[in-house]
Structure 1
Amino acid sequence: MLPILPVATPASARLPRWYEYVCLVLGLGFLGLMCLGWTPIAALLNVVMPEDAGRRLGRRVISGGFNAYLRWLEWLGACRFDLDELDTLRAAGPLVLAPNHPCLLDAVMVISRLPDVACIMKASLMDNLFLGGGARLARYIRNKPVLGMAHGAVDDLKRGSLLLVFPEGTRTVRSPINRCQPTTALIARRAKVPVQTLLIETDSAYLSKGWSLFRRPDMPIRYRVRLGARFDPPRDGAEFAAQLERYFADELSRAELVPPPCPAAST
């Protein structure tokens, strides 16, 4: 008889180690197959579809795919996600969404609930085999050159979209928040749109800075995304970056879920 998979294990109970390896392989495999299957289709559609139609389709497919991926992780029992507060933002654009950035799943969680999000991506990822075709169809924005990134972000906001920007610029290595960069403020000021902060909490360092993609974490992992304060379009980039850093530090110091130190912080 096959063993019963512990898909209903309470979040407080540790999964068997052998099953954590199963979840790791099945989770990464599911995401990889999904990306590989969509990439050639998206690349073809990017050539034949009008820009606006391609943008809408590309973003909806990515949002739906990420949602399916997170549901798969939940069904396996690997993760628990509390993302319901994001649903209130679906018709709230244009806004600059500014979350803290503890791990690689942050953008996946936000986009999974919001089907019209423009995402600023590393230029290297835009040419990636797994992600490039879909990202280009969705008209995601390259982070280089900086001036082109800023113009692209402002143009997308003027279309009424949500824009996802991580104020830290990279994953958190200094608890509870890295030094925030002025990019968020500069884009919001140029586009004349508010900045909506998002507070991402987790009890694991999985996929934080320095965590290998194939390193097994303790499971299940809990994630929570809640809405933070909404700030008016800022006037001064450096001043607003410091304000954001203080705000995140204060809020995250009282978070329900707190991860252990990330690998990069201890090296």
Structure 2
Amino acid sequence: MTDRRPGGNPLWAVYETIAMVIGLGTLALICLGWLPFALLLRPLLPRRRAQAIGRGFIANGFRCYLRILEICCACRFDLGELDRLRDEGPLIVAANHPSLLDAVMIVSRLPNAVCVMKASLMDNLLFGAAARLARYIRNDAPLAMILNARQALQDGARLVIFPEGTRTGNFPLDPCSPSTGLIANRARVPVQTVLIEFSTPYLGKAWPLFRRPQLPLTCRIRLGRRFAPPTDVQAFTGELEAYFRAELGDNGGSPACRPT
């Protein structure tokens, strides 16, 4: 991978720090601005109406946020392949998870997406109210998670899930859990794999939140193989993990993800 950063220029390091502040600050402002509306709309509106508004706002808000990162923070996002999923029926979107930006990028292109989220994020001040309004799904109770995911898929949503369960610690992929296969088996819905590639591991598990990025940052998402609903969940989980490893280049290389 060729390093395109202006080497030896202290002003560039200052710019990277400013870009980090703009990026994190903008996301916080978007979440805080939507917080009172999310809290009010959930009890006032019928469930389906409220979740449609919630999901639509998150998709459009994330899309605007990524555009700000492109304009102000030397980021480039190649997400066009996701648009092919916008008019699909019920579908499980399964992606690798190198960064905190993964869900932001995917949901920005899928207005009727519902995410399987960590319980800690569902309870978080910044993200929790918006996630609950959109009827995102907690991952702390496996049976409830599977039943709620099946219901969302029956309602026509695109379910976004990260089979690793958390951000990748050992690149290119951590072991996959059986959750994706269990949901696909119960809902009888296909699994569309999504492959996320970053030029650096920015906001990955080993990248502290307030460590400045290495700019320019390039991110690409491409569609992978679509798996039919499995009958053997254990075999499917192994096949899914092997597929991700093959596509992402499991060669024990740098944690900088795959060069875009």
Per the TM superposition, whether the score is higher than 0.5 is yes
Say if 1:97 and 1:163, in contact at 8 Å, map to a contact too: yes
The 2-side partners of 1:115 and 1:31 are apart by 18
1:1-267 alignment runs, 5 A limit: 12-14=4-6, 16-253=12-249, 260-261=254-255
**Deviation digits for residues 228-257 of structure 1 (CA, Å, limit 9, x no counterpart):** 0000001111111110111111111199xx
Letter paired with 2:55 = R
User: Are the equivalent residues in 2 in contact too, given 1:126–1:142 (CA < 8 A)?
Assistant: yes
TM-fit CA distance, 1:160:
0.8
Local SS of the residue matching 1:201: strand
Identity of aligned residues (%): 53
SS in structure 2 of the partner of residue 110 of structure 1: helix
Please give the root-mean-square deviation of Cα atoms over the aligned residues, in Å.
1.8
Q: Measured at CA, do residues 181 and 254 of structure 1 come closer, stay the same or move farther in structure 2, by a change above 3 Å?
A: closer
TM-aligned CA deviation for residue 17 of structure 1 = 1.0
Contact 1:154 1:187 in 2 (8 A): yes
Label 1:259 to 1:220 Cα distance change in 2 as closer, same or farther (>3 A): farther
Quote the offset at 1:43 in angstroms: 0.6
- What SS class does the counterpart of residue 180 from structure 1 fall into? coil
Distance 2:154 2:246 in 1: 32
Give the Å deviation of 1:260: 3.9
| Secondary structure in structure 2 of the residue aligned to 1:218 | coil
Q: CA deviation at 1:261?
A: 2.3
- Distance in 2 between the 1:60 and 1:250 partners? 34
C-alpha distance 119-156 of structure 1, shift in aligned 2 (>3 A): same
TM-score, scaled relative to structure 2: 0.92
TM-score, normalisation: structure 1? 0.90
Distance verdict in 2 for CA 1:199–1:31, change over 3 Å: same
State how many pairs are aligned.
250
In 2, the alpha carbon distance for the partners of 1:167 and 1:35 equals 26
Name the CA distance, whole Å, in 1 between partners of 2:253 and 2:92: 26
- State the shift of 1:64 in Å: 0.5
Label 1:178 to 1:254 Cα distance change in 2 as closer, same or farther (>3 A): closer
After superposing on structure 2, the runs of 4+ consecutive aligned residues of structure 1 that deviate more than 4 Å are: none
